[in-house]
Amino acid sequence: MKPSIIKLITTALSEKEYKIHKGKNNWDGKVNYVITHKDGITIRFEPSDNKTIQSLINEQYYMINHFENEIAKHEKMIEDELVDMHLFQYSHSKMTLNEIWNKAKEEYDQTIQGHTQSIKKTKEVIVDLQELLALAT
């Protein structure tokens, strides 16, 4: 990544109240950046990698796709009334089937809501990165 692009990214995003952390990889000593949106969405890159602003945007779209897949999975589990027994591990032996299902559905609904919020926050990050892309071209 070009130094001018790194400066553009770090300066513009810090003005938008992103937290910028410049560090070094413990293994190889390479400089890396971790940029965190106020809602916790992170952008990571190293000056030595081949990433561009567009590739950072693509990574955010990948995350949205992941969240959408997780939402679809949990919606299907609700529709089919499937229970992920890992949610209960030891407590399920003391619960009725209705209690297990109600708890599972509650967990699925919370997961769906969380992923829906993550998609919304990730789209905000994409907009900010797209603004930078327009400035860089």
Whether residue 88 has pLDDT greater than 80: no
Could you please report the per-residue DSSP string of 11-25?
HHHHHTT-EEEEEE-
Whether residue 86 has pLDDT greater than 90: no
DSSP H/E element including 6: helix 3-15
Question: How do the domains of the chain map onto residue ranges?
Answer: 3-136
Q: Collapsing DSSP states into helix, strand and coil, what is residue 95?
A: coil
For the chain, helix (H) and strand (E) counts, in that order, are 3, 3
- Report helix, strand and coil shares of the chain as percent, to nearest 5: 65, 10, 25
pLDDT tens digits, 2-23: 899 999 999 999 999 999 999 9
b/e burial code for range 18-54 (CB count within 10 A of at least 16 → b) = beeeeeeeeeeeeebbebbbeeebebebbeeeebebe
The residue behind tokens 């949990």 is: 74
Q: Hey, which of 2-6, 50-54, 70-74 has the most confident mean pLDDT?
A: 70-74
